[in-house]
Amino acid sequence: MNSDTCNYLDGNAAAGELSRIFTMDVTAAEGCCAQCGTIKRFAEAHLYMQCPGVVARCPACQHVLLRLVNVGQQVFLDVRGLTYLRLNTA
């Protein structure tokens, strides 16, 4: 493995950005990939943040779980790649 194949971060890196939208912690939430059904904590998602938006991918199949784009005072959010996200209120 080298820095070229490991050009991603993880769900922890997007947590600050997502804290603007989610009042509950996202990193510990379990997410189910809509493509392959893998269930993992969002902290384990592969995050691509060096691009015009935030892209979270399933670590098992690379399917896009979530995308986020900031446009001025608005946020575009696409979560079609997650069948669900299971967040804890506590």
Partner 1 sequence: MAITSRGFSGRRGTTDAKLPPGQYLTTDFPVLSAGPTPRVPLDQWEFTISDGSQVLRRWNWKSFRELPTETITVDIHCVTRWSKLGTTWEGVSLDTLFAGVNTDAEYTMVHSYGDYTTNVPLQDLLNRQAWIAFRFDDDDLAPEHGGPARLLVPHLYLWKSAKWVRGITLMQEDQPGFWESLGYNIYGDPWREQRYSGDE
Partner 2 sequence: MWRIGTAVALQDETPTARTIRFEVPDWPGHVAGQHVDVRLTAADGYSAVRSYSIASAPNASRLFEITVERLPAGEVSPYLTQDVMVGDRLELRGPIGGWFVWRKEQAEPIQLIAGGSGIVPLMAMIRSRLSTGNAAPFRLLYSVREPKAVWYGKELQSLSEHDPSISITYAYTRATPKDWPRPPGRIDAALIANAAWPSSIGPTCYVCGPTSFVETAAALLTASGNSPDRIRTERFGPTGDRK
Enumerate binding residues for partner 2 (CB under 8 A). 1-13, 15-16, 19, 25, 27-28, 41-44, 49-50, 88
Residue 1's binding partner among partner 2, partner 1, none (Cβ under 5 to 8 angstroms by kind) is partner 2
Tokens, residue 53: 């938006």
Q: What is the smallest separation between the CB atom of 25 and partner 1, expressed in angstroms?
A: 24
Residues 6+ apart with CB under 8 A from 72: none
CB atoms within 10 A of CB 2: 6
Q: How far from the centroid of its chain's Cα atoms is residue 30's Cα?
A: 11
Tokens, residue 34: 């809509």
Residue 43's binding partner among partner 2, partner 1, none (Cβ under 5 to 8 angstroms by kind) is partner 2
Residue 76's binding partner among partner 2, partner 1, none (Cβ under 5 to 8 angstroms by kind) is partner 1
